[in-house]
Amino acid sequence: MIKNFVDIDTKLDKFNDECGVFGIYRNDDDLDSVAITHDALFGLQHRGQESAGITVNFEGEFSTVKELGMVSEVFTEKALSKLKNGKIAIGHVRYTSNESLDRASNQPLVLRYKEGSIGIASNGSITNFPEIRIELERGGAIFQSNSNAELMGYVIASERCYTDNLEEAVLRSMDRLKGAYSTVICAPTRLIGFRDMYGFRPLCVGKLKNSYVIASESCVFDSIGAEFIRDIEPGEMIVIDEEGFHSYKARMTAEKTSLCLFEYVYVARPDSVIDGVSVHNARFRAGEFLYKECPIKADMVCGVPDSGIVAAEGYAKASGIPFGMGFVKNKYIGRTVGTGKDKKKRLLQTRLTALKANVKGKSVVIIDDSIVRGETSKHIVKLMRDAGAKEVHMLISSPPFICPCYFGIDIRDKDSLIANKLSIEEIREQIGADSLGYLSLDSLRKIAENANIDLCDGCFSGSYNAEIPRTIFVDKYAKKINKK
């Protein structure tokens, strides 16, 4: 069975979060909303590297710059010069699980309807997407993409036809939209941010001088000099206008909230604080728990950049084994020439190298955040052996992934997960490590036990706090177009 499994696609087998969002309502004349949003997107780049965009409301006129690529690639001086210093701006960085990167799904999306215009940017996944999409199409709706943001925009616009204001339309839409979403809206006179009733994806609000900002993670506020106010609560809508800061709650509430635990393990930046818990401290605790459960005698502990490093420091402290740098990550890889597996394989080979001077002749413990398909772990172990390591022990700061995620992390089916095909011992043999250990589910739940929100561990346990999709949406027409 192990030999047959070698044919795993050699893509970068790490999970990816869907997106990062930002918004600003500017009350200070000396602040530049475009420059601040641009800087904020750099702080969210880890949440999406495939497209970026900014929409600005300047005196009621909406202008947008968005394109495929990293923040630095999209926002050239020429591109930024097209955006005026408006009172309200929102920004977005995107990750997509779709192999074909369609520009129509780039965000923010600007929608014009009978009450005016809105710009929308969202992070997450609507689990009743197929049902709502079919309902809207039967009513004559025409979609330009398969993005959650476009669907949300349609729902909000349709609800606005039966309400007195946009705020009420958004609250009514939150009752209809199931699943995970943290969203910002640039409206004609106000900035709106809202979070699904479970709170799967993070969203917080801060203050910069007399202006307000909303972001996926608090690390953004530090980078732009803003003050963190608080997290936006599950099922809460924040509205910021000329009168200040307003809070509303959706009518529907969840029996149990469900922030994704993987935010602490991998997705979020370590300098963020999410729902009351420092991401850095959560990862450090994961490393300490790993040592209690998987004690190994070794000469050095190292982490796989970036999310494995803090857990490795925790393991080193608990074990007394020296922490050292085992890998060097190339952070300046641009677009890679080539296609298909060849491109992905070369990208995997060039983004990480082993530090031979540190590991040669040593027994090394490597800490990583996860194993998905196994190809990256196999490559990491080989790097260490080729650098002269005497022994290579791989430890993972999360449990084995055994189930899909339906709420914004790119885990679409069980077939892509190595832990559903092989035992831990078989995985160890597959990746070539001397030993392999995972953090237990009980310990994982403890790394963020002081969070002011319940946590979702469905991808590890198979138990979800929210309803999972009954059907999966397939755009049959898009498939025909792609075949041509």
pLDDT at 318: 98
Q: How confident is the model over 39-64, as a mean pLDDT?
A: 96
Query: Distance between CA atoms of 53 and 23, rounded to whole angstroms?
Result: 12
Q: Secondary structure of the chain in the HEC alphabet? A: CCCHHHHCCCCCCCCCECEEEEEEECCCCCCCHHHHHHHHHHHCHHHCCCEEEEEEEECCEEEEEEEECCHHHHCCHHHHCCCCCCCEEEEEEECCCCCCCCHHHCCCEEEEECCEEEEEEEEEEECCHHHHHHHHHHCCCCCCCCCHHHHHHHHHHHHHCCCCCHHHHHHHHHHHCCEEEEEEEECCCCEEEEECCCCCCCCEEEEECCEEEEECCCHHHHHHCCEEEEECCCCEEEEEECCEEEEEECCCCCCCCCEECHHHHHHCCCCCEECCEEHHHHHHHHHHHHHHHCCCCCCEEEECCCHHHHHHHHHHHHHCCCECCCEEECCCCCCCCCCHHHHHHHHHHHHEEECHHHHCCCEEEEEECCCCCCHHHHHHHHHHHHCCCCEEEEEECCCCCCCCCCCCECCCCHHHCHHHCCCHHHHHHHHCCCEEEECCHHHHHHCCCCCCCCEECHHHHCCCCCCCCCCCCCCHHHHHHHHC
Q: How many CB atoms lie within 10 A of CB 311?
A: 31
Paired with 93 in beta bridges are 20, 52
**Residue that the structure tokens 């994806």 belong to:** 201
pLDDT at 473: 59
Q: How confident is the model over 247-254, as a mean pLDDT?
A: 92
Query: Distance between CA atoms of 41 and 301, rounded to whole angstroms?
Result: 33
**Cβ–Cβ < 8 Å for 124, 196:** yes
Structure tokens, 112: 């014009």
Query: Distance between CA atoms of 250 and 104, rounded to whole angstroms?
Result: 30
Q: Label residue 481 by pLDDT band (50, 70, 90).
A: very low
Q: Label residue 404 by pLDDT band (50, 70, 90).
A: confident
Bond into 108 cis (ω within 30):
yes
**Cβ–Cβ < 8 Å for 15, 418:** no
Q: Label residue 103 by pLDDT band (50, 70, 90).
A: confident
Q: Examine the pLDDT at 30 and tell me if it is beyond 90.
A: yes
Query: Distance between CA atoms of 227 and 174, rounded to whole angstroms?
Result: 28
Verify whether residue 161 is a known catalytic residue. Answer: no
Paired with 22 in beta bridges are 91, 215
Paired with 54 in beta bridges are 65, 91
pLDDT at 472: 62
Q: Label residue 97 by pLDDT band (50, 70, 90).
A: low
**Residue that the structure tokens 């084995």 belong to:** 400
Q: Label residue 96 by pLDDT band (50, 70, 90).
A: low
Of residues 330 and 188, the one with the higher pLDDT is 188
pLDDT at 287: 98
Catalytic residue among 19, 219, 456, 459: 19
Helix orientation angle between 148-160 and 166-176, rounded to the nearest 10 degrees: 120
Query: Distance between CA atoms of 295 and 344, rounded to whole angstroms?
Result: 34
Q: Label residue 269 by pLDDT band (50, 70, 90).
A: very high
Q: How many CB atoms lie within 10 A of CB 367?
A: 30
Structure tokens, 78: 């020429």
Q: Label residue 13 by pLDDT band (50, 70, 90).
A: low
pLDDT at 265: 95
Bridge-based pairing state of the strands 204-208 and 211-215? antiparallel
Same fold, 19-258 and 277-455: no
Q: Examine the pLDDT at 391 and tell me if it is beyond 70.
A: yes
pLDDT at 89: 98
Q: Examine the pLDDT at 57 and tell me if it is beyond 70.
A: yes
Distance of CA 339 to the CA centre of its chain: 25
Write down how long the chain is. Answer: 484
Q: Label residue 414 by pLDDT band (50, 70, 90).
A: confident
Q: How confident is the model over 242-252, as a mean pLDDT?
A: 93
Report, at the CATH architecture level, how domain 19-258 is classified: 4-Layer Sandwich (3.60)
Q: How far is CA 436 from each of CA 134, 165, 356, 397, 400, rounded to the nearest angstrom?
A: 46, 56, 22, 11, 11
Q: How many CB atoms lie within 10 A of CB 308?
A: 28
Q: Examine the pLDDT at 145 and tell me if it is beyond 60.
A: yes
**Cβ–Cβ < 8 Å for 297, 320:** no
- What are 294-347's pLDDT values in tens digits? 999 999 999 999 889 999 999 999 999 999 999 998 876 554 444 445 545 545
pLDDT at 484: 44
Nearest to 51 by CA among 76, 74, 68, 72: 68
The structure's pTM equals 0.90
- Report domain extents, the chain: 19-258, 277-455
- What are 159-169's pLDDT values in tens digits? 999 999 999 99
**Cβ–Cβ < 8 Å for 235, 50:** no
Q: Label residue 434 by pLDDT band (50, 70, 90).
A: very high
pLDDT at 8: 29
Q: How confident is the model over 443-472, as a mean pLDDT?
A: 89
Q: Examine the pLDDT at 480 and tell me if it is beyond 60.
A: no
Of residues 177 and 9, the one with the higher pLDDT is 177
Query: Which CATH fold would you assign to the domain 277-455?
Result: Rossmann fold (3.40.50)
Bridge-based pairing state of the strands 363-368 and 391-396? parallel
